[in-house]
Structure 1
């Protein structure tokens, strides 16, 4: 049985863009994967860069919960947590 693949565009911002060394990349995932699966994959692909507690995720230009399912063609933005006054 063959798994259906989907393409997701990941956009990196600020610290993550600098550390990964690119603004964005296309990633193929199996259909049915969630944002948490994508984060786990990125943490394995780029060890020591992503701190799950200090990152925000947006899916299709709105903040997203890590449990949300991804769809083919989604755009996922990975941003560091920022604080200010």
Structure 2
């Protein structure tokens, strides 16, 4: 299935792009997507953690991804 991935913050710098279109196997969960993401973009291992949002809502590892979902990779944010 086809998905769109949006990268924010340091993830954009690590990947060198703010978005990617990718193919995932059907019935992929957020947990399996994270594993897939690290094989496709090993430089993401430099981030200590990140959140995943699907269609603008934060997603837990057990959520299933659907065709044409927009997935955002959101690194930790600090500020003051």
Residue 83 of structure 1 deviates from its aligned partner by 3.4
TM-score under structure 2 length normalisation: 0.88
Taking only aligned residues, the RMSD between alpha carbons, in angstroms, comes to 1.6
Larger displacement relative to structure 2 (65-74 or 46-55): 46-55
**Partner of residue 79, structure 1:** 74
How far apart, in 2, do the equivalents of 1:52 and 1:66 lie? Answer: 18
**Pair member with larger Rg:** 1
Figure out how many residues of one structure are paired with residues of the other and give that number: 80
1:49-64 equivalences under 5 Å are 49-50=44-45, 54-64=49-59
